[in-house]
Structure 1
Amino acid sequence: MSIKLEAFRVFRAVAEAGTLAAGARAVGRTPSAVSMTLAQLETEIGAPLFETDRKNRLTPLGHRVLEESSRATDVFDRAVSAIRRHAISSAGSVRIAAVPSAAIALLPETIERFRREHPHVRIEIADTDTTAVRRRVRTDEADIGIVSAGSSDPPQGALIRRDDLGVVCTEGGPIHRAHLAEAGSSSWRIMELEPLIANPLCQLVDHPAIRDLLSTSALEARNTTAILTFVRQGLGASILPFDSVRGQPDGIEFFVPSDPATQRELRKIRQDGSRMTTPAERFWEML
């Protein structure tokens, strides 16, 4: 059996797109060429991969082949990406996946220090949520991950810093006015005065009012810039660490309720047992 990687890539495109025509567009080939490739693949395998000629429903074997095709093409693409990174930067590269608040508050200073020592090393930053950061590190799409965790969560990775979580709301809005009326001593229940803009950090607050608001929230965002934009537009209030709002333009207020005071931890993670490049190891130490 001599199956080429490109056949797997074509099959994956059609299976994920749901039609032959859409799959052909995805790989930039004609439907007839794609149809021929699929026929050759099925001949090599010795069994059909689609239930019908429309290519819109996989056989049980087709589902299994899709899993293996996805795995094979992903591994190949990561290898090619790594080769290109090294070709672009002979000094090496450092790939970092971080939660957005860390990308804003933590990475600029570290990058500035790192570049003084390693001015020619290529640095790649992906800001995303904690779950995606862990996945990128696990699948070797990132050398270093920076995740958010609650202070009561099982410790994973190395602690970078702790900071308080607080309410982010519009200046002069219902929550801000109530906070001022309470002389600065507010409960998390004050969040009930405005719609909650949910984000993963909200889940770290152990308060019934926040749990109720999370269950009914109609707006969720995971990017810090988007959250602050929505707050400034009066779409609701959210929960973020102070580092996320420091230096923001006027119109945003931040305060920390105390029932209970809730801290967020930033932790750095890496693949267990993996050996990082010298630049990545140095960046890890600087964090």
Structure 2
Amino acid sequence: MSIKLEMLRTFSVAAQQGTLAGAAAVLGRTPSAVSMMLSQLEDDIGAPLFATDRKSRLTPLGHLVLEESLRATDVFDKSVDAIRRHVMSTAGIVRIAAVPSATVAIIPDVIAAFRVDHPDVRIEISDVDTAAVRRRIQRDEADIGILSAAPGHLLEGELIRSDDLGIVCAEGGPIHAAHLESVGTSDWALLRLEPLISNPLCELVDDTVVNDLLLASTLEARNTTAILSFVRRGFGASILPFDAVRNQPDGVEFFVPSRSIQQRELRKIKQDKELVRGPVFRFWSLLSG
């Protein structure tokens, strides 16, 4: 049996498209060439993979072969991508997955310093939440990750900086007015005055009021720009770090409750097995507190 990777790729595309014409369009081949490749694969395996000549339904064996074909082609494609990235590293590429507040407060200054020595290096930034940062690092979809964590609750990676979490609300709204009247004695209970726009950072606040409001929240956003836009429109209030709102837009107010001050950490992570070098090492080094 001499099954080749290209046979498995052709089969998986044909199985997913359901027709020879559809597979041919995806693969950039003629239907007859696709049909010949599929016939050769079935001959090598020694059993039919399709229940009909129209390629619209798989046999039980076909389902098994499809699963293994997708697994094999996925591994091959990732290996090819890794090789290409290594080749490109002479010209330079740095892939960053970071929480939104880091892309606003940290990344711009790091890019400016980085470009002094590496002006031609390509930088790819993914603006995602902490869970997605971890996934991208684990799947080798990013070289460096920047995530948010509660102080002392996370041992992975290296600390970049800590900052205060606070309430972001509409200027002149109920929370803002109550805060002005509180004369420096505000707390998280002010969030009860408006609907909570939840986001993953809210979970870093250790407060029963916030926990209750999270359960009752009917609006969630994960992008800082979206959160600030919703707050400005009067949809409610939210919780963000100071770094995310230091240049807050008109119509939005931010303050740190004086009681039960809460902080978050920004930490940088990478794959432990990976030796960081070249442009990636330089970018990693610039991400310091």
Partners of 1:86 and 1:93 within 8 A in 2: no
Range with greater deviation from structure 2 (39-48 or 174-183): 39-48
The reply to whether residue 264 of structure 1 matches residue 264 of structure 2 is yes
- Does the residue aligned with 1:268 lie in a helix, a strand or coil? strand
Distance 1:20 1:247, change over 3 A: same
> How much does 1:39 deviate?
6.8
| Aligned residues of 1:13 and 1:26 also touching (Cα < 8 A) | no
Q: Secondary structure at the match of 1:166?
A: strand
1:249 aligned partner: 249
Matches of 1:168 and 1:265, distance apart in 2: 18
Task: Return 5+ residue gaps in structure 2 as ranges.
Answer: none
Query: What's the secondary structure of 1:239's corresponding residue?
Result: strand
AA aligned opposite 2:26? V
**Are the structure 2 counterparts of residues 25 and 32 from structure 1 closer, same or farther at C-alpha, using a change threshold of 3 Å?**
closer
State the shift of 1:237 in Å: 1.4
Kindly report the root-mean-square deviation, in angstroms, between the aligned alpha carbons of the 2 structures.
3.3
Measured at CA, do residues 46 and 266 of structure 1 come closer, stay the same or move farther in structure 2, by a change above 3 Å? farther
Moved more, 156-165 or 44-53: 44-53
Question: How do 1:49-60 residues align onto structure 2 when only pairs under 5 Å count?
Answer: none
Q: Residues 182 and 119 from structure 1, CA distance in 2 versus in 1: closer, same or farther, beyond 3 angstroms?
A: same
Distance 1:216 1:109 in 2: 38
Are the counterparts in 2 of residues 3 and 44 from structure 1 also a CA contact under 8 Å?
Answer: yes
- How far apart are the structure 2 equivalents of 1:200 and 1:51? 48
Distance of 1:132 and 1:12 partners within structure 2: 28
Q: How does 1:97-246 map to 2 (within 5 A)?
A: 97-246=97-246
Change (3 A) 1:76 1:126: farther
Picking from 12, 18, 21, the partner of 1:20 is 18
The number of aligned residues is 284
Identity, % of aligned pairs? 60
Q: Distance in 2 between matches of 1:200 and 1:252?
A: 20
Q: Is the 8 A contact 2:10 2:27 kept in 1?
A: no
Matched letter for residue 27 of structure 1: V
After superposition, the Cα gap between the structure-2 partners of 1:93 and 1:29, relative to the gap in structure 1 and judged at 3 Å, is: closer
The structure number with the bigger radius of gyration is: 2
1:92 correspondence with 2:96: no
Question: What's the counterpart of residue 63 of structure 2?
Answer: 62
Q: Give the AA of the match of 1:129.
A: D
User: Take 1:44 and 1:200, find their aligned partners in 2: how far apart are those partners?
Assistant: 52
Alpha carbons of structure 1 residues 90 and 231: separation in structure 2 relative to 1, 3 Å: same
- Measured in 2, the distance between the counterparts of 1:188 and 1:128 equals 26
Segments of structure 1 that go 5 or more residues without pairing to the other structure are: none
Superposed CA deviations along residues 72-112 of structure 1, whole A, max 9, x for unmatched, are 33333334444555666742211111111111110110111
Using the size of structure 2 for normalisation, the TM-score is 0.82
**TM-superposed deviation, 1:158:** 0.4
